[in-house]
Amino acid sequence: MKKLCLGIESTAHTFSAGIVDFEGNIYGLANDIFIPEKGGLHPALVREQHLNNFRSVITEALTKANISINNISLIAFSQSPGLGPVLKIGALVARILSQLLDIPIVGVNHCIAHVEIGRLKCNIKDPLTLYVSGGNTIVSAFESGRYQIFGETLDLAIGNMIDSFARDAGLSHPGGPKIEKLASESKKYLPLPYVVKGMDLSFSGLYTAVKRLIESNEYNLSYNLNDVANSLQETAFAMLTEVTERALAHTGKDEVLLTGGVAANQRLQEMISSISEEHNSKFEVVPLKLAGDNGAMIGWTGILRYKAEGGHSIEDTIIKPKERMDQINIPWRSEN
């Protein structure tokens, strides 16, 4: 029987369970996603939903893998970063299972897991990663034993900004795919704030500007929502692409990995692919199912850490809502 790890993801809107073996094969993956009726993610409401559904999600993953919980020999969970009340659910479930089944437990940083699942499934070794999602906008690469952050947003995350704007424009959650569709129907570009500071970015001014555009008297006269969506995407993605290219030139990496929920956007893929080609780098997008938040990436990263230094003691499984990926040593990768 293969050694199997149950990975539990619980940092924000997604509660997910993934079953992964120690070679990186994924046997079962199940998700439950909190979708707000209005507004953003209220931590207390997300927590309630995850508490209600964790059992069915884990059961579904086990069923897909065609195994019982007793076949699991390692539990991994998302320990950082994320919404405190939501992280606690994943940690709680993981601790209980670890103690009941008497198997080791290991905590995982969510952002690092996004990179590791990409390295595994896209068959690349040492990429520069652009990780774009509702909660994160990070340009990272491995240097001096850690996943260093070369660039990041100074305020809003890209996905959060797009979703917030979509909400203001009356579109339902999740707004990203809807904005992408609207944008594809326009060729018009309205000038918007383009804020790049070195390899860091700022989206708050851009958000205010697009919000003003749809509140203006000119709205639906000289331009429509498609035009605003197009201008928003063109500006924000050009900013992301520019800092990624700058980081690529600075680090000299020859692989580029695009991941996170926003990685699903075709226009962004096209832009990042373009600069990768220009710098003779291999470009990969993490498959959609594994680019968004998922338990398989937590399971796989848990396996990597477990193999390198064993499991965590229960005292070390305390959640760390604000832990950054560049604060964590990576014992499973040798210095390059």
Partner 1 sequence: MKSNIVQEKLIHKGAEANLFCGVWFGKNVIFKHRIPKVYRIEELDRNIRFARTLNEGKALIKVKKYGINVPTVYEIDRNKALIVMKNIKGEKLRDIIGTTNKIKLKEYLKKVGQFVALLHINGHIHGDITTSNILLTPQEEIFLIDFGLHEYSDKIEDKAVDLHLFKRVLLSSHGQNYKVCYNSFLEGYRIEYENNNLTDYKEIIKNIDVIESRGRYVKPGERL
- Please state whether beta strands 200-201 and 196-197 pair in parallel, antiparallel, or not at all (unpaired): antiparallel
> Under a CB-based contact definition with an 8 Å cutoff, are residues 71 and 303 in contact?
no
Q: Is 154 in the site for partner 1 (CB under 8 A)?
A: yes
Single residue of 61, 128, 210, 271 touching partner 1 by CB under 8 A: 271
Q: Is 39 in the site for partner 1 (CB under 8 A)?
A: no
Span from 2-10, 145-153, 173-181, 257-265 in contact with partner 1 (CB under 8 A): 145-153
Site map for partner 1, 181-220, x if CB under 8 A? --------x-x--x-xxxxx--------------------
Here the tokens at position 214 are 């749809």
261 vs 177: CA distance, rounded Å: 10
Residues contacting 80, CB < 8 A, separation 6+: 87, 107, 109, 110, 319, 320, 321, 322, 323
Residues contacting 315, CB < 8 A, separation 6+: none
Report the nearest approach of partner 1 to the CB of residue 34 (Å).
Answer: 20
Report the nearest approach of partner 1 to the CB of residue 274 (Å).
Answer: 4
Q: Is 234 in the site for partner 1 (CB under 8 A)?
A: yes
Single residue of 10, 31, 98, 153 touching partner 1 by CB under 8 A: 153
Q: Is 238 in the site for partner 1 (CB under 8 A)?
A: yes
Q: Is 55 in the site for partner 1 (CB under 8 A)?
A: no
Quote helix, strand, coil % in the chain, to nearest 5: 45, 20, 30
C-beta of 198 vs 205, nearer to partner 1 = 198
Report the nearest approach of partner 1 to the CB of residue 81 (Å).
Answer: 5
In the chain, what is the greatest distance between 2 CA atoms, to the nearest angstrom? 67
188 vs 224: CA distance, rounded Å: 10
Q: Is 328 in the site for partner 1 (CB under 8 A)?
A: no
Q: Is 258 helix (H, G, I), strand (E, B) or coil?
A: strand
Which residues contact partner 1 (rule: CB under 8 A)? 80-81, 135-136, 138, 143-146, 148-150, 152-155, 157, 189, 191, 194, 196-200, 234-235, 238, 241-242, 245-246, 248-251, 270-272, 274-275, 279, 321-324, 326
